[in-house]
Amino acid sequence: MNLSFFDQFSSPYLLGIPLIPLSITLPALLLPSPNRRWVTNRLSTLQLWLTHLITKQLMNPLNKAGHKWALLLTSLMLFLLSINLLGLLPYTFTPTTQLSMNMALAFPLWMATLLMGLRNQPSASLGHLLPEGTPTPLIPALIMIETTSLLIRPLALGVRLTANLTAGHLLIQLISTATITLLPMMPPISILTAAILFLLTILEVAVAMIQAYVFVLLLSLYLQENI
């Protein structure tokens, strides 16, 4: 059976049962279980330090009203981070390469921030659609442009995460295929390609972490506009 490069992004099935829920829930096993002690080992200390750092970075731009979202945003950040990094392992599936999943995360959270703003401060939220000092003839066009930019925010969130991870996985597969193919014919070129593959893998680890952070950071900025 001939497989294309895009078959790695198809949802895995076992006996007709989709395995994507399993791939989503398994990273939760890596989180420490509740314990009566504050610090149990070095891994728990590192995880607590990372969680505190992420929460501090996300909550800095927000006022006290936005701190209610700390648990949700931090959990989403750790969820995306673990899935993105585990998806770089061989013979694994990355759920965040699916646009449907990313949109399912982006759209409800974006809608929640928007509805919160329309409920708590409707004048300020609607005021973002028309910048102050706009000439009268440009008002209809600017309202349409700002409304469009507001409505495509969840689409931009989902597409950005999907496109970056998909492109990285495709590059890794292309270069690894070239490395294996060139090994019997041109070993020096194959070694050079393997070195490029190693550097690209390090880059993809950074991209997986950055994209998870950017996804949650943009949500926190949308929240900041509406509180």
pLDDT for residue 205: 92
94 residue type, one letter: T
Model pTM score: 0.81
Which residue shows structure tokens 């991209």?
Answer: 207
Residues whose CB falls within 8 Å of the CB of residue 74, separated by 6 or more in sequence, listed in order: 51, 54, 55, 58
pLDDT for residue 43: 72
CA 66 to CA 55: how far, in whole Å? 12
Give the alpha-carbon dihedral of 7, 208, 218, 149, to 10 degrees: -40
CA 25 to CA 133: how far, in whole Å? 50
Low-confidence ranges of the chain (pLDDT < 50): 1-2
Counts for the chain of helices (H) and strands (E), in that order: 8, 2
Q: Where are the domains of the chain?
A: 23-226
Which tens digits make up the pLDDT trace of 20-65?
777 677 776 766 666 666 666 777 777 778 888 888 888 887 878 7
pLDDT for residue 1: 39
Q: What are phi and psi of 173, to 5 degrees?
A: -70, -40
